[in-house]
Structure 1
Amino acid sequence: MRVARQPRYQQIARLIAEKIARNELKVGEKIYARSTLATTFGVSPETARKAISVLSDLGIVDPVHGSGVIVVSRQKAQEHLEQYQEVETIQDLQEQILESVVRQQSELANFSTILDKLVDQTEHFQKANPLTPIEFQLVEQSPKLGKTLGEMNLWQNTGATIVAILQKEELIVSPGPYATINQGDTLYFVGASNTLQIIQNFFYTK
């Protein structure tokens, strides 16, 4: 729901401008006395006076001493409303952007909480099941590929114990030091909670 941003006298000035733009109040017609205007909108005479002053400054009405307030320009009333609507549109867009940012921040905070829980659960699972293999596929080229496990000293460099290698559609269980690692292979290994990151760094960090 939109919260009123304007002072009451500006809101009244806009409502009167709308009546003039719709030709409900015609050029040359007198607007009710300020006291009547105040009663109509439920505001003080001073607020009504300010509303008329706004319309006068915009050239929409002309307060004539002793004759009341005369409508002088429907066109300027229409121009004023068009400018007001443009401002409203900009404010609407600003509100939508701010609301979107708030939603994204909330969603990001929720995602972060879920991610933390996932990490905690993963670490707990790995600690409870230390022999559950971790899977890592070598999808990109690496200068270390094409070598055997023994040549690259994989266990010494990463702490990972390779329990199986999936090469194309062939699963090699308990591969020895002469097993060659190629691009596209999937490694199954056991190790510490940070071993996966070490493996990634080993193959793909220069």
Structure 2
Amino acid sequence: MSKQTKTPNYIKIAVDIAHRIVNNQFIEGERITGRTTLVSIYNVSPETIRRSLALLKDMNVVTINEKSGIIINSKNSAKEFLNKFKTKSDFTYLNNETFDLIKKRKEIDSKLEKNINSIIEFATQLRNVGSIIPFESIVEKDSFAVGKSIGELDFWHNTKATIIAVKRNGDMFLSPGPYFIINEDDIIVYVGDDSVLETVKNYISLH
């Protein structure tokens, strides 16, 4: 689940004050003597309280009088403020979740594109050798091919087979060059006439 944007303290405090008004902890017409009281209640800076009250004043929840303090105007306005905040919060959550989903979709699209390109490239390799079906041979633990490059193996000269790919731990390495090192448990994918299957198996199983 995506994370919501962190709500600033002044908004949290404004919401809490509105909740207190709705729950009759602050009564309509009640005077709160100055911002100092709210500073002590919420243990924040006067500037944070000022911003909180500015939000509530804009919605006619409170009136701010520098001489007489803060007056609670309307319980209904406090309810409207909370509804407005909830709508804004829900929008923020949906907005963030949507962008997260778009990001994930782009990542999936990128992976799909890579896989499709690999399929196309592999299919091209097969077309280049006509209708010949590729063979596969696994490199066993004791094979002399382990640790050697394709160039060192002189593969085609010794087997008359052409390596078109090597499978390793679920990955496909297409058209590996002469410096590609063969590892234990690699699966060599190659083409040639029917006789090469036995030839390759014998060749890579040499000790």
Normalised to the residue count of structure 2, the TM-score between the two structures is 0.55
In structure 2, what residue type is equivalent to 1:130?
G
Distance of 1:4 and 1:69 partners within structure 2: 28
The answer as to whether partners of 2:34 and 2:68 remain within 8 angstroms in 1 is no
Distance of 1:67 and 1:25 partners within structure 2: 16
Residue aligning to 2:4: 2
Distance of 2:115 and 2:43 partners within structure 1: 53
Structure 1 segment 42-191 matched on structure 2, within 5 A: 42-127=43-128, 129-132=129-132
Distance of 2:93 and 2:55 partners within structure 1: 24
Displacement, 1:75?
0.1
Displacement, 1:19?
1.7
Please report the RMSD computed on the Cα atoms of aligned residues, expressed in angstroms.
2.3
Unaligned 5+ segments in structure 2 are 134-207
Residue aligning to 1:12: 13
In structure 2, what residue type is equivalent to 1:17?
A
SS at match of 2:70: strand
Distance of 2:81 and 2:115 partners within structure 1: 51
Closer, same or farther: CA 80–90 of 1 in aligned 2, 3 Å: same
Larger Rg: 1
Normalised to the residue count of structure 1, the TM-score between the two structures is 0.55
Unaligned 5+ segments in structure 1 are 134-206
| Percent identity over paired residues | 24
Distance of 2:47 and 2:31 partners within structure 1: 19
The answer as to whether partners of 2:29 and 2:72 remain within 8 angstroms in 1 is yes
Distance of 2:91 and 2:64 partners within structure 1: 32
SS at match of 1:63: strand
